[in-house]
């Protein structure tokens, strides 16, 4: 990458950390606003326990993300088969997006127990809609000329799907997956908040609740940073996959 | 031969095509010219069975349809695109046939390129190659050369003429370009709009087409004659 591209964001980061550090020193209440250096120290000192949390959150978020991807693409495919199916199902897909998941989460925990299962389900609910919506958009916007070409050769619906509509929708599917990458981690953290309080050995969300109760602000911040990096890693992975699939032919990756 | 009888089309209340009857001899090259919205594209789609019509169209069963924007799959390479229609038609020996077809249109060496890396002319050559490789009895062409520049257009007309004389398919070409119709066709059908119907058919007497016939007085005379007949509808 060129130096010109790296310098501006790094400059912003240095500015941000610098003013945070100075601000924290002036404010001088470490339990409310620790310096970035203190957060880094906590991160190093509590590295083992943070990694245990990361592993649990990763498992829940990753499983939720994969399930959301499979269900999302499948539901969008079903909706794309006919106008009637789309009209019957789409409103509920929207409701899935508009329901305040934080409010529903306790109910899910009530039904599925204080287990990783509940966390995964909450993660799926949050990550699902962008995948459905973008996949559906992709499947519905196949070039009319190409559809005519396949129709002219009396191609079966199944062949048309695999050779035309699905590959044409891949750029949109990737776009949906990119949005959901961060959301699946958010979902897992929300789930862990609700399950919460139990022990300091839980996922990142559980540990955040625990550390907050103990006024360990620098640990809360170290945990937030770790969760942020997890979502970022998901995003980079999907972006790389997208680049690999699209860079040879699609303008979005050229 | 292709026999079109009593073909018409209404889009809701609007009559797009009034009864069209037309017989096209085997191996004939026929063009349909007319102003935008005269229904010439609809007529071509009725012949292709892409649009329903109360009339009947009798045609051989092996055909190909060539679209205006070359209709290539952007995620497939040149090789993948030239094999596409053979896949859809379950043709044997795809590899060997594809190689021959690509060589015929000068696209050998570009097998691994993607459509976005090709010029407009190359895309259309690829589109023609993947259709011809099916060994069709007839080809329907929907303004295939309207997206390329004027110089490439004349070269492609000459190439299309060579393909036609070599492979001896029946061709129906829809075009806006009168000179193109005159250069390529045995007969030119003139359509009028609202409702679309064939108002005139002009015979083109040239035995053999070479680029220099474009400069002959007889060529300009035919172009002007057809242009005159089209102008009546404006």
Q: pLDDT tens digits, residue range B94-151?
A: 999 999 999 999 999 999 999 999 999 999 999 999 999 999 999 999 999 988 888 8
Q: What is the CATH number of the domain that holds B42?
A: 3.40.50.300
* Per-residue model confidence (pLDDT) at position B147: 84
Examine the domain organization and report whether B37 and B88 are in the same domain. Answer: no
Q: Do A145 and B85 touch (CB under 8 A)?
A: no
CA distance B128 to B173: 13
User: Which of B136, B169, B196 represents a domain boundary (last residue)?
Assistant: B136
Examine the domain organization and report whether B128 and B168 are in the same domain. Answer: no
Instruction: Answer yes or no: is pLDDT of B164 > 80.
Output: yes
User: Is residue B98 in some structural domain?
Assistant: yes
Number of domains in chain B: 2
User: Is residue B10 in some structural domain?
Assistant: yes
User: Which of B82, B113, B136 represents a domain boundary (last residue)?
Assistant: B136
Contacts of B49 in chain A (CB under 8 A): 152
Under 8 Å between Cβ of B144 and B127: yes
Examine the domain organization and report whether B20 and B114 are in the same domain. Answer: no
Examine the domain organization and report whether B57 and B71 are in the same domain. Answer: no
What ipTM score was computed for the predicted complex, to two decimals? 0.93
Q: pLDDT tens digits, residue range B21-39?
A: 999 999 999 999 998 878 8
Q: Which two tokens stand for residue A217?
A: 């602000």
Nearest CA in chain B to A167: B75
Q: Could you tell me the CATH superfamily of domain A35-253?
A: MetI-like (1.10.3720.10)
Under 8 Å between Cβ of B62 and B140: no
Contacts of A170 in chain B (CB under 8 A): 75
Q: What is the pTM of this model?
A: 0.88
User: Is residue B141 in some structural domain?
Assistant: no
User: Is residue B42 in some structural domain?
Assistant: yes
Q: Which residues contact B110 (CB under 8 A, 6 or more apart)?
A: B78, B102, B118, B122
Give me the domain span that covers residue B24: 1-61+146-234
User: Which of B136, B169, B186 represents a domain boundary (last residue)?
Assistant: B136
Which member of A149, A170, A250 has the closest CB to residue B67?
A149
Token pair 């907050």 is found at A212
């Amino acid at each position: 990458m060129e130096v010109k591209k790296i310098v501006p964001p790094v400059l912003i980061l240095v500015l941000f950390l610098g003013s945070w550090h100075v601000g924290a020193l002036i404010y001088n209440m470490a339990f409310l606003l620790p310096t970035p250096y203190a957060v880094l120290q906590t991160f190093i000192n509590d590295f083992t326990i943070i990694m245990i949390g990361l592993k649990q959150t990763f498992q829940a978020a990753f499983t939720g993300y994969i399930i959301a991807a499979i269900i999302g693409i499948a539901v969008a495919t079903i909706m794309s088969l006919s106008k009637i199916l789309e009209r019957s199902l789409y409103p509920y897909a929207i409701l899935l997006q508009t329901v305040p998941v934080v409010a529903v989460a306790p109910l899910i925990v009530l039904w599925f127990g204080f287990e990783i299962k509940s966390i995964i389900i909450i993660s799926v609910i949050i990550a699902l809609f962008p995948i459905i919506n973008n996949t559906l958009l992709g499947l519905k916007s196949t070039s009319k000329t190409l559809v005519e070409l396949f129709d002219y050769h009396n191609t079966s619906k199944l062949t048309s799907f695999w050779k035309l509509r699905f590959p044409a929708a891949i750029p949109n599917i990737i776009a949906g997956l990119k949005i959901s990458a961060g959301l699946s981690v958010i979902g897992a953290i929300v789930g862990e908040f609700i399950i919460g309080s139990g022990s300091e050995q839980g996922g990142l969300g559980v540990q955040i609740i625990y550390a907050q109760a103990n006024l360990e602000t620098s640990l809360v911040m170290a945990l937030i940073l770790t969760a942020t990096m997890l979502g970022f890693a998901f995003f980079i992975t999907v972006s790389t996959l997208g680049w690999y699939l699209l860079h040879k032919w699609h303008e979005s990756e050229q | 031969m292709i026999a079109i009888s009593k073909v018409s089309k209404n889009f809701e209340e609007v009559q797009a095509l009034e009864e069209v009857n037309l017989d096209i001899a085997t191996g004939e090259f026929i063009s349909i010219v007319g102003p935008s919205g005269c229904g010439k594209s609809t007529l071509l789609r009725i012949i292709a069975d892409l649009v329903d019509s109360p009339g009947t169209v009798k045609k051989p069963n092996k055909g190909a349809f060539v679209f205006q924007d070359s209709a290539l799959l952007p995620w497939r390479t040149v090789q993948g695109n030239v094999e596409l229609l053979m896949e859809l038609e379950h043709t044997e020996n795809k590899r060997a046939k594809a190689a021959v077809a690509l060589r015929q249109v000068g696209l050998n060496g570009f097998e691994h390129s993607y459509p976005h890396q090709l010029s407009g002319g190359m895309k259309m050559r690829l589109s023609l190659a993947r259709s011809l490789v099916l060994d069709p009895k007839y080809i329907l062409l929907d303004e295939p050369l309207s997206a390329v520049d004027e110089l490439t257009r004349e070269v492609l007309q000459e190439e299309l003429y060579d393909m036609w004389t070599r492979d001896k398919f029946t061709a129906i070409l829809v075009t806006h370009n009168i000179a193109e119709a005159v250069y390529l066709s045995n007969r030119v059908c003139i359509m009028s709009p609202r409702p679309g119907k064939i108002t005139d058919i002009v015979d083109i007497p040239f035995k053999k087409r070479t680029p220099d016939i474009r400069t002959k007085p007889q060529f300009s005379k035919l172009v002007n004659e057809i242009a005159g007949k089209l102008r009546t509808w404006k």
